[in-house]
Structure 1
Amino acid sequence: MTCHSSESIENERRSEPVSRVVESDQSRIAAAMRDLKKTGWYWGSLTANEAKEILQDASEGTFLVRDSSQRDYLFTISAMTSAGPTNLRIEYKDGKFKLDSVMLVKPKLKQFDSVVHLVEHYVLLSRTTWKGSVGDPLTPPNGTVQLLLTRPVYAVTPSLQHLCRISINKATKRVQELPLPNRLKDYLSDYMYHV
């Protein structure tokens, strides 16, 4: 029979929820990494200067996702704006991903379960904003540059299968109802994003 002091039992109880949170965070981040690696536009440990060089001659709205060079952040979106290449950090907090921003805007920013969901949201938002603009891209009234995410830069050329999967997922949310073999339905369901 083992005897534990009340202090050691209390310490175990306190550390239990923390370990679950850490485990949950690790599994969410691991899932986010798996999804990101499937995209083709995740570049890994690319530096800000290397990203700038890649985007230098790209059109506005072209973007890529890379590892953040700042320790407090996991990922960064590097994108071409009307003022040139820029970087947006992606914050991970309380199991959710969101764009880093100034304190006044931060509470209003939408949060996502994965980085790919976050990027997909802003790509769809940018495409509707871009289509709604006449002539030059819309610029906020205070003179700041509007960020558009419209076209990813691929680190590797995506396979035809992956591009078809994206097209099918754009066309329907009912993949399981399609008259396809189960193996193909599983492949389509493995990456349900539109980007």
Structure 2
Amino acid sequence: MTCHSSDSTETIDNERRSETESRVVDSDQSRIAAAMRDLKKTGWYWGSLTANEAKEILQDAPEGTFLLRDSSQRDYLFTISAMTSAGPTNLRIEYKEGKFKLDSVVLVKPKLKQFDSVVHLVEHYVLLSRTSIRGGSGGGGGTGGGEPSPALTPPNGAVQLLLTTPVYAATPSLQHLCRISINKVTRQVQDLPLPNRLKDYLSDYAYHV
């Protein structure tokens, strides 16, 4: 039988805790790095844009126009700047326990969906907004989760936030726009009668926005 002193047991516990924390940090870094790779392919990620600069870009845009930028607040990684019926507004994206979700009022937070990818998050709310507009109501039909549109209400609760049309930082390539269109009509890219190289390009950005 082997006995450990309390000091030895505490040392082992600390080492295990340190290993667990290290794995969590590595996992977070990998997820954030993957999110950044996807974002840089979108064309509507503007990087270190300030809130005032985003406001100027969106000032004369129609409601639903949006862009994504780095958050100016240290506790958040990204911010969605969007045009609403009351003017430009900002909605932060928080990262916690390996997931991205919108930051909103406390009562709404439990209802907000979580995503592995920032682009997936934005895509979800774009589809939600477009469905809401087509349906002429605030319902979230067609999103699969039945999430109500109040999830797209900014923290002040003043106006509904729609995300429909991204603002590109630079003119996107025709190839990129084509793969978005193709991915909108099929999720079975590998079954298409196309060269493997082209299939890889389509799969490299399998989003609708």
Matched, 1:183 2:204: no
Matched, 1:119 2:122: yes
1:90: Cα distance to partner?
Answer: 0.2
Which residue of 85, 89, 102 corresponds with 2:88? 85
1:181: Cα distance to partner?
Answer: 0.6
1:144: Cα distance to partner?
Answer: 2.7
Correspondence list, 1:100-179, <5 A: 100-133=103-136, 144-179=158-193
Pairs aligned (count): 185
CA offsets 1:148-194 (integer angstroms, 9 cap, x no match):
00000000111000000000000100000001110100000000000
CA distance in 1, matches of 2:54, 2:43: 15
Gaps of 5+ in 1: none
CA offsets 1:41-95 (integer angstroms, 9 cap, x no match):
0000000000000000000000000000000000000000000000000010010
CA distance in 2, matches of 1:117, 1:69: 22
Aligned CA RMSD, in angstroms, stands at: 1.5
**2:113 alignment partner AA:** K
1:11: Cα distance to partner?
Answer: 2.1
CA distance in 1, matches of 2:56, 2:192: 43
Matched, 1:69 2:83: no
CA distance in 1, matches of 2:136, 2:86: 18
Q: Secondary structure at the match of 1:51?
A: helix
Q: Secondary structure at the match of 2:80?
A: strand
**1:84 alignment partner AA:** G
Q: Secondary structure at the match of 1:154?
A: coil
**1:175 alignment partner AA:** V
- Partner of 2:14 in structure 1? 11
**1:12 alignment partner AA:** E
TM-score of the aligned structures, taking structure 2 as reference length:
0.85
CA distance in 2, matches of 1:17, 1:177: 41
Matched, 1:38 2:38: no
CA distance in 2, matches of 1:190, 1:52: 31
**1:22 alignment partner AA:** V
CA offsets 1:100-145 (integer angstroms, 9 cap, x no match):
00111101101111110000000000001111228xxxx97xx831
Q: Secondary structure at the match of 2:40?
A: helix
Of the structure 1 ranges 21-30 and 11-20, higher mean CA displacement relative to structure 2 is found in: 11-20
Q: Secondary structure at the match of 1:193?
A: coil
1:8: Cα distance to partner?
Answer: 3.7
